[in-house]
Structure 1
Amino acid sequence: MTMENSNGSLTTTIENKIATVEFGHPASNSFPRELLSRLTNELNTLSTNSDVSVIVLKSSGTAAFCAGASFQELLAVSNLEEATQFFSGFANLINAMRTCSKIIVGRIHGKAVGGGVGIASACDYTLATTGSSIKLSELAIGIGPFVIELAVSRKIGKSAIAEMTLEASEWKSAIWANQKGLYAKVFETTAELDNETAVFANKLSKYNPEALFEMKKIFWEGTENWDSLLYERAQISGKLILSDFSKKALNQLKK
């Protein structure tokens, strides 16, 4: 099944109890709100699909894995309600990944920025290439990674996310991400990445799905308050993106 329009593409294939979900967008696989909503709905649907035991989440192309939120939509935000709704898109997606009854394996083939790092962090198990560097650049435009921080900190810890956030212009290597616990394994080539992703997903698909679900609930223990906390964080980002500092920073980037 493929869903494609001007807001990007979303494709799901199901084979041997493995659902492969691939998202794409011409602007470095960034996410307009509509594509975020489609991916969120797709994960919620797959969560109740008895023909699926494991989900592989990937993005299109050979360049960036995900550039985060759509810059064009960010520029268009004009009031607090719009701004909060904009940042709630990633809150909805992370909550869908967190509560999904299936194990989600992330296949990260390239660089991830902002929300892309959040998506990688919300996967239950993540495989990457050596080219899959990560960056949290939000402070540079007057906001912070408030929504995704919860998912990222859960994987790499507060000290590491403080380092990433405060060094807003610096990339952290895939090896660094592996050492901090974001990436379970890192491979030299996408061919190796794809092979290992297929092997690992196939192993998972043969396990008892009820046992996998019970383990997933244990993995995510202590996150029950995210249903409300993520949206409180979205409001913080929404308020800050309307500030004079952010407006000036965004206009500089637009030039």
Structure 2
Amino acid sequence: MALENPTGSLTTTIDNTIATVEFSHPASNSFPRKLLDALTEKLNELSVNAGISVIILRSEGTAAFCAGASFDELLAVSNQEEGTQFFSGFANLINAMRKCSKIIVGRIHGKAVGGGVGIAAACDYAFATIDSSIKLSELAIGIGPFVIEPAVSRKIGKTAMTEMTLAATEWKNTDWAQDKGLYAKVLENQVELDIDIAHFTTKLASYNPEALVQMKKIIWEGTEDWDALLLKRAAISGELVLSDFTKNALGQFKKQ
């Protein structure tokens, strides 16, 4: 089953009790709001599907895993309500990932920036390749990783999150990301990546489904306030995106 439109695509395939959800966008797998909403809806749908035990979350292609928010939509924001609404898309997605009753395994095949790092952090277990460097570049465009911060800090710690955020133009390599806990395993290439993911998810799907559901609840204990927290953070970003600094910075990034 697939959603296809000019703002990206979302495809879901099911093999036994393993669902693979793949998102795609021509601009380095970035997320316009419509694609964020589609992925959120799909995860909510799979969460209540008794025939699914495990979800593999991946993106299309061989280049970037995810470039974060759509620059075109950020530039189009004209008031705080629109800005808050856009960033609430990431808030809703991360909340859907944490509340999903299924274990979500991330397939991070390339670089992740901003919201892409947040998505990787919100996966319950993430595999990556040696090409999967990460960067939180939000401060460089006048905003900050406010919505995704709880997910990133929960996975790699507040100190590492701060280091990434303040060094907004610096890439962190996969060794760093694995050492901090973002990636559970790093493979040499995508062929090895897919072999390991297939083995891991097949084994995982063979376990007692109810045990997996209960384990998922335990993994995310202590995040019950995120429904309100992430929307509050979205409002911060929604206001900052209207600043002249951010509008100018986004314009310069688009010219690069």
TM-score where L is the length of structure 1: 0.99
Secondary structure (helix, strand or coil) at the match of 1:191 reads: helix
Letter in 2 for 1:42: K
Instruction: Measure how far apart 1:251 and its partner are.
Output: 2.7
Instruction: Measure how far apart 1:248 and its partner are.
Output: 2.3
Letter in 2 for 1:46: L
Letter in 2 for 1:233: R
Letter in 2 for 1:11: T
Instruction: Measure how far apart 1:211 and its partner are.
Output: 0.6
Secondary structure (helix, strand or coil) at the match of 1:146 reads: coil
Q: Is the 8 A contact 2:21 2:57 kept in 1?
A: yes
Aligned position for 1:118? 118
Aligned position for 1:215? 215
Name stretches of at least 5 consecutive residues in structure 1 with no aligned partner. none
Instruction: Measure how far apart 1:249 and its partner are.
Output: 1.6
Letter in 2 for 1:133: S
Q: Is the 8 A contact 1:29 1:64 kept in 2?
A: yes
Q: Per-residue displacement from partner, 1:28-76 (whole Å, max 9, x unpaired)?
A: 0000000000000000000000110000000000000000010100110
Aligned position for 1:151? 151
Q: Distance in 1 between matches of 2:7 and 2:119?
A: 18
Q: Distance in 2 between matches of 1:45 and 1:249?
A: 37
Superposition map of 1:2-13 within 5 A:
2-13=2-13
Q: Per-residue displacement from partner, 1:93-141 (whole Å, max 9, x unpaired)?
A: 0000000000000000000000000000000000000000000000001
Identity %: 74
Secondary structure (helix, strand or coil) at the match of 2:104 reads: strand
Instruction: Measure how far apart 1:88 and its partner are.
Output: 0.4
Superposition map of 1:31-46 within 5 A:
31-46=31-46
Letter in 2 for 1:28: S
Aligned position for 2:196? 196
Q: Is the 8 A contact 1:9 1:25 kept in 2?
A: yes
Q: Distance in 2 between matches of 1:110 and 1:86?
A: 25
Secondary structure (helix, strand or coil) at the match of 2:194 reads: helix
Name stretches of at least 5 consecutive residues in structure 2 with no aligned partner. none
Instruction: Measure how far apart 1:150 and its partner are.
Output: 0.6
Aligned position for 1:98? 98
TM-score where L is the length of structure 2: 0.98
Instruction: Measure how far apart 1:27 and its partner are.
Output: 0.5
Secondary structure (helix, strand or coil) at the match of 1:145 reads: coil
Letter in 1 for 2:18: I
Instruction: Measure how far apart 1:3 and its partner are.
Output: 1.3
Aligned position for 2:170? 170
Instruction: Measure how far apart 1:244 and its partner are.
Output: 2.3
Secondary structure (helix, strand or coil) at the match of 2:175 reads: helix
Greater than 6 Å deviation, 4+ residue runs: none
Instruction: Measure how far apart 1:5 and its partner are.
Output: 1.1
Letter in 2 for 1:21: V
Secondary structure (helix, strand or coil) at the match of 1:22 reads: strand
Superposition map of 1:67-106 within 5 A:
67-106=67-106
Q: Per-residue displacement from partner, 1:143-162 (whole Å, max 9, x unpaired)?
A: 10000011000000000000
Superposition map of 1:125-144 within 5 A:
125-144=125-144
State yes or no: 1:241 paired with 2:241. Answer: yes
Q: Distance in 2 between matches of 1:150 and 1:8?
A: 27
Letter in 1 for 2:139: L
Secondary structure (helix, strand or coil) at the match of 2:148 reads: helix
Q: Distance in 1 between matches of 2:210 and 2:199?
A: 21
Q: Distance in 1 between matches of 2:72 and 2:229?
A: 26
Cα RMSD between the aligned structures?
Answer: 0.7
